[in-house]
Amino acid sequence: MSRHRVVVIGSGFGGLTAAHALKRAPKGCPVDITLISKTTTHLFQPLLYQVATGILSEGEIAPTTRLILRKQKNVRVLWGDVSAVDLTAKTVTSGLMGMETVTPYDSLIVAAGAQQSYFGQDHYALYAPGMKSLDDALELRGRILGAFEAAEVATDPQERTRRLTFVVVGAGPTGVELAGEIVQLAERTLSGAFRTITPSECRVVLLDAAPGVLMPMGPKLGLKAQQRLEKMGVEIQLNAMVTAVDYMGITIKDKDGGERRIDCACKVWAAGVAASPLGKMIAEQSDGTEIDRAGRVIVEPDLTVKGHPHVFVVGDLMSVPGVPGMAQGAIQGARYAARIITATTKGRDNPTERAPFKYLNKGSMALISRYNAVAQVGKVEFAGFVAWLAWLVLHLYYLVGHRNRMAAMFAWGISFLGRTRGQMAITSQMMYARPVAEWVEKHAKDGALAAAEHAEEAEKQASV
């Protein structure tokens, strides 16, 4: 019997769960899995902000995918950026360092995840990095700690104030957690480390165009989080829409229509996500399949696309009513797809009779400060120390690898019980890599355009 070929796109919670779920193929129905990812790691995104604020190292939240799966002999891991998915030919094309690989499949699981959305203003990213990748987190660590260093040597009072002003755009879980950690970094870890500035006097602003904090978690928990942050000294500015971002600061439009400026050196964008472009690519090849405003694929009840019963879309890339873009949605969707693929290899799958995917909401949590969090589990809402303990246990559970769990426990111990943090090193590359990369990309494009123009001109002269 021929081996059933499964291609998985993405190494996040959805992709890794799918690969693990297909580890033991049914007897007599072997499965070969190819996992293709544009990164070499399995990233635990909910803890990126702790990399950005010096609590955890990048390796502790992003173990190498190849090493995680090395004992699973039916998996091949490919590092590469997927450039094409051909639903008719049943192939996936990926590229790495100028080399192109075409991988055929019998079943496809697309778990490509999401990226930061700037709502059409992508140039904001140069001045306000997001929080979706290790590069983002390391760059933000450089910018956050670099702001304190620059304030120490600034002689102009206004410039010193600007350097010590931090603005976080987006009052969702990421924004709330990051704003709280910046305050604790300044008040606890950096206390007494400078001579001309007092880090605890920094200004941390958390703003959102929405009328509340942690809106998906409901008004009660949102208010508790807001009150705790305000007690810590975080300025909460709601109904505030960002209209411009530049090197010197940020421009905001309030609900009454008035505009104002906040001069700040360090700006973080934690507002909005956009699905991978693969969603649109797949939808265009499936007659009747559409994408929503965020670019997510509006899938069938069995998480497939119309006309292609063996192409599954899971995680942040799928649009299913009532399923949030969180790890649990990706994990449950991947397990559901794996069960169908297993049934297919046994000859027991009938696409017209599949039971629809059902999501079990296991709740959501957000860390506010040391010993304080908010949590929602089903209809039960709670906050404070108990929620903080639940947050610790849950995040330890979902970290991959015993070593990473032990390292995280140790890092949290010295951070929460003590005053220090183990990952405070920064380099100039962290702070300046993005503008340099954009400059190189721009000039590379200009160079390519100039070369094309010169070639066209030479061709015209040759034909005369």
Give the mean pLDDT of the chain.
91
Q: 147 and 90, same structural domain?
A: no
Look-up: residue for tokens 């304030």? 151
Residue after which a domain boundary falls, among 246, 271, 296: 271
Nearest to 366 by CA among 92, 139, 162, 180: 180
Q: In this predicted model, what pLDDT tens digit does every residue of 108-166 receive, in sequence order?
A: 999 998 889 999 999 999 999 999 999 999 999 999 999 999 999 999 999 999 999 99
Residue after which a domain boundary falls, among 353, 373, 401: 353
**Cβ-Cβ contacts under 8 Å for 300 (sequence gap 6 or more):** 306
Residue 349 forms part of a structural domain = yes
Q: Helix axis angle, 385-398 relative to 402-412, nearest 10°?
A: 150
Residue-number span of the structural domain to which 85 is assigned: 4-38+80-116+274-353
Number of domains the chain is built from:
2
Q: 111 and 96, same structural domain?
A: yes
Q: In this predicted model, what pLDDT tens digit does every residue of 160-214 receive, in sequence order?
A: 999 999 999 999 999 999 999 999 999 999 999 999 999 999 999 999 999 999 9
Question: 3-class DSSP state for residue 111?
Answer: coil
Q: Give the best-scoring range by mean pLDDT among 23-32, 76-85, 318-327.
A: 76-85
Q: 141 and 18, same structural domain?
A: no
Tokens standing for residue 379: 């209809």
Q: 315 and 226, same structural domain?
A: no
CA separation for the pair 169, 267 (Å, rounded)? 8
Residue 152 forms part of a structural domain = yes
Q: 281 and 262, same structural domain?
A: no
What's the rounded mean pLDDT across residues 449-464?
54
Question: 3-class DSSP state for residue 153?
Answer: helix
**DSSP symbol at 234:** P
CA separation for the pair 259, 440 (Å, rounded)? 34
Q: 147 and 261, same structural domain?
A: yes
- Other Cβ atoms less than 10 A from the Cβ of 223: the count is 15
Phi, psi of 178 (to 5 degrees): -70, -45
Q: 169 and 106, same structural domain?
A: no
Residue 327 forms part of a structural domain = yes
| Cα atoms in the 13 Å half-sphere on the side-chain side of 148 | 27
Does the pLDDT of residue 464 top 50, yes or no?
no
CA separation for the pair 311, 330 (Å, rounded)? 15
Residue numbers annotated as active site: 177
Residue 17 forms part of a structural domain = yes
Question: 3-class DSSP state for residue 233?
Answer: coil
Residue 451 forms part of a structural domain = no
Q: In this predicted model, what pLDDT tens digit does every residue of 327-347 receive, in sequence order?
A: 999 999 999 999 999 999 988
Distances (CA, A) of 88 to 82, 104, 279, 308: 17, 11, 16, 9
Q: 334 and 349, same structural domain?
A: yes
Whether this prediction's pTM lies above 0.85 is answered by yes
CA separation for the pair 160, 150 (Å, rounded)? 8
Does the pLDDT of residue 455 top 80, yes or no?
no
Per DSSP, the residues of 390-432 read: HHHHHHHHHSSSHHHHHHHHHHHIIIIISS--S-----HHHHH
Does the pLDDT of residue 28 top 70, yes or no?
no
Phi, psi of 368 (to 5 degrees): -100, -50
Q: What is the pLDDT of residue 30?
A: 87
Per DSSP, the residues of 346-397 read: TT---GGGPPPP------EEEEEETTEEEEEETTEEEEEHHHHHHHHHHHHH
What's the rounded mean pLDDT across residues 358-385?
92
CATH number at residue 237: 3.50.50.100
Distances (CA, A) of 409 to 284, 388, 393: 46, 14, 10
**Amino acid in position 331:** I
Residue 337 and residue 314 in contact, taking contact as beta carbons nearer than 8 Å? yes
Q: In this predicted model, what pLDDT tens digit does every residue of 269-314 receive, in sequence order?
A: 999 888 899 999 999 999 889 999 889 999 999 999 999 999 999 9
Q: Give the best-scoring range by mean pLDDT among 21-25, 310-314, 452-456.
A: 310-314
Residue 83 and residue 95 in contact, taking contact as beta carbons nearer than 8 Å? yes
Q: What is the pLDDT of residue 450?
A: 55
Q: 256 and 126, same structural domain?
A: yes
Give the CA radius of gyration of the chain: 24
Query: What number of residues does the chain have?
Result: 464
CATH number at residue 313: 3.50.50.60
Look-up: residue for tokens 């069995």? 302
Residue 109 forms part of a structural domain = yes
Q: 302 and 193, same structural domain?
A: no
CA separation for the pair 83, 278 (Å, rounded)? 8
Residue 164 and residue 121 in contact, taking contact as beta carbons nearer than 8 Å? no
Residue 415 forms part of a structural domain = no
* 248-271: burial string, b at 16+ Cβ within 10 Å, e else: ebbebbeeeeeeeebebbbbbbbb
Residue after which a domain boundary falls, among 271, 292, 323: 271
* 166-183: burial string, b at 16+ Cβ within 10 Å, e else: bbbbbbbbbbbbbbbbbb
Residue 423 and residue 57 in contact, taking contact as beta carbons nearer than 8 Å? yes
Residue 393 forms part of a structural domain = no
Q: 181 and 152, same structural domain?
A: yes
First-to-last alpha carbon distance for the chain, in angstroms, is 64
Q: In this predicted model, what pLDDT tens digit does every residue of 320-331 receive, in sequence order?
A: 998 988 899 999
The sign of the torsion formed by the CA atoms of 387, 388, 389, 392 equals positive
Nearest to 330 by CA among 51, 65, 44: 44
Q: In this predicted model, what pLDDT tens digit does every residue of 236-260 receive, in sequence order?
A: 999 999 999 999 999 999 999 999 9
